[in-house]
Amino acid sequence: MKKAKQITCSVAISSLLVGTSSQLFGKTLGAFNDSETTASKIQACEVFPSYINEVFSELNDELLRYKKDLKRLPEISALESVYEPATEWKDYTIPQLKEEVTKINTSIKSLQETENRLGETLSKSESLADDLEQRANTIYKLLEKIEKFPSRASVSCLEDEYPLTAGALAELFKQNKLSHPQIEHLLVYYHTIQLGKSGKPEVNQAVLESFLASIDAEINPLKDEIDSDLEATLKKIKGLNSDLEAVEKLVKKKEKVKEEKEKEEKEKQKEESANKNETDASPDEEAKDDKSSDPAKDEVKKEEKQDSDSQGDSNDSSDSNKQEDQQADEAEKEKADPPKDEQKEENKEKKQEKTDDSGQEKKKENNSSKKADTVETKARKAVTDEKPDKKEKEASKASSDKNDEDDEQETKEDKAKP
């Protein structure tokens, strides 16, 4: 009796569950409430609308990130104008050439900064292209995932509302320039799934290729512009470097010419100074040569001069003695033979004249020799130095005193003669 009651309860519960299945599980399991197919066709759904909505939400977020990345596209400003150097510097002075070098260096520095900035922009654009490609791949994989849900579950498992398919996702694809017919069909399918009017969606490699083409359309023009600006900048830098090299070479050449000219002028001044010093020092050198001459030769010259002076004195004394002897002989003859006629007196006068003439000639020769010695001494004194040393002064004075004494002696002798 007790066992019969348990069986009756089990049957009642089973009947209740089958009858209320549509209320408990909604449209997903309610579709299988046909009593004829309950035993053979009831199966569990692999996916549910809630999960599909989560995937759509993830797709929405990824599209927003892609849109944000697009805003990171760098802007390229126009190239700044730089100094254009002259083409001829032939008539430039060295200061002008150096000023030109400064201006060219400033321009090169500015262009190098532009080159670096363009290089950084190019790197950023290439990095951005990589980021966009990664996001495009992620979006494509999410679309593939959503596209496969209808193949894994029956329509009754998927029938529900998908709010994002109403227009939000379609607008994001459009803003990001990623729209594609396959994507549009996918969104329409899920938006009208309850009506069952659309065929199953398909998303293949063509969608990904369209994404990459869209990225290239955004990045490539930017890269091309940067490459063009870089090429123009490098060309200008190359031209300015060539100009700089030419100007610096010209500066060195002109500086070298200037240095050589200054060197020549210094050498010329040095030579003129040396010649002037040599001219000023020549009397001193001659005096030095005279002072530093061979003592033996000086002694010989001194002895020769003394001999000449003594010879002159001896000649004067011999002439004087001869005259005295002649006068003595004549006096004796007069004593021995007092009466003399006029002819004797004339002969005597003639002899006296001849004697006087001979004495005068010898005096003149001695005086000429002495005067020549004096002139030679004075000339040497004038050439060697304006201020002779003490010894030369004394020698000159002694020679002059001796000449004066000789002249005085001759005058005395002339007066003593009859």
Average pLDDT of the segment spanning 166-188? 94
pLDDT tens-place string over residues 228-242: 999 999 999 999 999
Position 393 pLDDT exceeds 60: no
| pLDDT at residue 31, rounded to an integer | 41
Cα separation, 327 vs 317, in Å, equals: 15
| pLDDT at residue 75, rounded to an integer | 84
Cα-Cα end-to-end distance for the chain: 222
Under a CB-based contact definition with an 8 Å cutoff, are residues 133 and 220 in contact?
no
| Among the ranges given (158-172, 354-368, 374-388), the one the predictor scored with the smallest mean pLDDT | 374-388
Q: Can you list the alpha helix ranges (DSSP code H) found in 153-204?
A: 155-158, 168-175, 181-191
- Please, which pLDDT band fits residue 46 given cuts at 50, 70 and 90? confident
Amino acid at 213: A
226-235: which pairs have CB atoms within 8 A and are 24 or more residues apart?
226/76, 226/118, 226/121, 226/122, 226/125, 227/122, 229/76, 229/79, 229/114, 229/118, 230/115, 230/118, 230/119, 230/122, 232/79, 233/79, 233/111, 233/114, 233/115, 233/118, 234/115
Question: Would the pTM of this model clear 0.85, i.e. be above it?
Answer: no
